[in-house]
């Protein structure tokens, strides 16, 4: 979650119509990932868009409910150093495991 907040999106995300208890930030960021560089109110420049998207993908992988789906720290470092094109979109985050 910290890496997602480091992108700065949580504090600048548009307000939701749902109450805070119904609002799960990882779901919101997952749904709006492709719009990150284009959303008004975000403090993300064109130059930092790729870095922000990479951090979001890594962050979403790291919060997977199933511990076996989470990357090791060495894999996280590799993911942060590779191209955005080499990263896969993680499964949609859930609050509970099935």
Q: 11-54, pLDDT tens digit by residue?
A: 544 555 555 545 678 888 888 787 665 545 556 676 677 888 88
The span from the CA of 9 to the CA of 27, in Å, is: 13
Query: Which tokens hold the place of 55?
Result: 């951090």
Determine the length of the chain.
98
Residue 93 domain flag: no
Say whether pLDDT at 1 is over 60.
Answer: yes
pTM of the predicted model as reported, rounded to 2 decimal places: 0.72
For residue 10, the model assigns a pLDDT of 52
Say whether pLDDT at 96 is over 70.
Answer: no
Range of the domain at 56: 2-9+25-86
Number of folded domains that form the chain: 1
Over residues 48-71, the pLDDT tens digits come to 778 888 899 999 999 999 999 999
């Amino acid at each position: 979650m910290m890496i997602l907040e480091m992108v700065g999106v949580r504090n600048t995300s548009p307000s939701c119509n749902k109450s805070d208890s119904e609002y799960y930030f990882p779901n919101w960021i997952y749904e709006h990932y492709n719009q990150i560089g284009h959303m008004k109110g975000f403090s993300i420049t064109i130059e930092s868009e790729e870095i922000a998207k990479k951090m979001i993908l890594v962050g979403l992988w790291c919060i997977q409910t199933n511990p076996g789906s989470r990357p090791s720290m060495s894999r996280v470092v590799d993911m942060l150093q590779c191209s955005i094109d080499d990263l896969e979109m993680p499964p949609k985050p859930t609050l509970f495991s099935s």
